[in-house]
Amino acid sequence: MREVSTGRVVIVGAGLGALYAALKLAPRPVLMISPEVLGQGASSAWAQGGVAAAMDPTDSAEAHARDTLRAGAGTVDPAVAALVTEEARAHILDLTRLGTPFDRRPDGGYVLSREAAHSFARVVRVRGDQAGAEIMRALVACLREAPSVQVLEGVMATELRVEDGRVAGVEVALSGPQGSAPVLIRAPAVLLAGGGSGGLYALTTNPPRIRGQVIGMAARAGAEIADAEFVQFHPTAIDCGEDPAPLATEALRGEGAHLVNRLGERFMPAVHPDAELAPRDVVARAIYAQSQAGLRPMLDTRACLGDRILTEFPAVAGACARAGIDPTREPIPVAAAAHYHMGGVAVDSDGRASLDRLWVCGEASSTGLHGANRLASNGLLEALVYARRCALSIEARLGPAQGGDPVSLPDLPPGPVPDPALVARLRRAMTEGAGVLRDAGGLTCCLREIAAIEAAQPDCPALLNMTAAATLIAAAALMRQESRGAHCRTDFPQTLPEGRRSRLTLAQALALRASLEPETT
């Protein structure tokens, strides 16, 4: 295998966590690995709601932490919730300084939205539903001006190189349709910030490349994975046949939009006291039940927003226009779609993984903040907080920077790429067996199907990363014999008295999967 060496810190990913960490590491030389053109293809750019932070004088970090604990259904780490919510305000001010055009009131204060399970309006937004895109645009502009950052576009990480229990570098390949043979980039430290696992499901709001590869890559290298079973399904993906499904932001419900079915009936008041603003897992299951009953759930914004939706929520309006839906005159069809992975690579309060010289931030990590059910708009906040903490930890671990010359990759021949039919098969298996509702039979069938998919193309690292993440999700879901937060077992509907986080290695998950294989004669 070809090799190149660098003194730069390698950051895998190009979303919010990756960009923010690169800026916080400056002037230390950084090499970013981005499968797409910088700023494209990252879940962060698609985030509509905004960033949760206690910016109102009547609100507080303590109240924000309490809401986080309550939404997380008993498995949030209280110390982490306190740490993250305490830092939130400073990061909003920092993003403002870096050029993010947050919505402001005439008096200069921030416009704040209330989202599900928040006791205050505390979601800072940009032009209604443009927060992710505008924050990314501001950070990309700053990054382009940072001489310490080199970006390799059109390149994706495929494997971590571990030597003597320490991450020594990362193998990368070209991300185009032909793929390429891998090349090893040796580096003093690796930060994984490459997104979650929503794209492992047939119906998802995630960009096409976000299919658990980074989590799977870390797991294949031996890193410990936490809370893998907790996958959040967004209740209001726009049900219009697009893949990925466009998102109807939760802020619409915060503005007063109602969920109705094809009969015109509101169904959430009978499900939860907070109705449309109930925790996401509750709303997602209610939406799913309406869909399964053939009652076509829809989001009605006509009374609360009317024509304002066209200007105040342009992403939603644009998605509706593409689908031939006029939200000013008719409700928007919606469905529950895989949206956010609460689980990921287990990290400590500084973002360090169980492997030496490996750090993880953003959705690929599991910090203990989200528990069993992420509080709305805490995702971007966590990425900001831990990107900075990772940067500080890397600085402390490495000492003075050395060897910051730009990296050039050699010419690479074509290499294996995932068979699209196998990827589609994997996504169907996850939706059917490890989706909104789960039971032992479905999860067992899912794990067996993942094993068959893996065996069909065993020489493709990118596919193996996907199947590793899928195996961890399904195995952890099979092991958790209760219903908690986003994890709903129809064969174990009760919630156990004591909440606990799950921790699992890929070796353990594979052993469980192997034990389920039917005996051959």
Question: Which residues are identified as catalytic?
Answer: 280
Interhelix angle 78-97/378-398, nearest 10 degrees: 90
Query: How far lies 448's CA from each of 65, 90, 415, 516, in Å?
Result: 40, 47, 27, 7
Query: How far lies 473's CA from each of 74, 363, 505, 510, in Å?
Result: 19, 14, 11, 11
How is residue 104 annotated by DSSP?
Answer: B
How is residue 172 annotated by DSSP?
Answer: E
Interhelix angle 78-97/61-71, nearest 10 degrees: 120
* Radius of gyration, alpha carbons of the chain: 22
Q: Which residues pair with 344 in a beta bridge?
A: 226
How is residue 340 annotated by DSSP?
Answer: E
Concatenated DSSP letters for 44-64? Answer: HHH--S-EE---STT--HHHH
Q: Are 190 and 160 in contact (CB under 8 A)?
A: yes
SS3 state at 222:
coil
Task: Give the strand order in the sheet containing 51-52.
Answer: 51-52, 123-124, 112-113
Separation of alpha carbons 378 and 54, rounded Å: 12
Strand 231-238 and strand 51-52: pairing?
Answer: unpaired
Q: Are 325 and 332 in contact (CB under 8 A)?
A: yes
* Cis bond upstream, residue 244 (ω within 30): yes
CB-count exposure of residue 240 (10 Å: 0-12, 13-18, 19+): middle
CB-count exposure of residue 307 (10 Å: 0-12, 13-18, 19+): exposed
Contacts of residue 178, defined as CB under 8 A and 6 or more positions apart, other chains included, come to: 414, 417
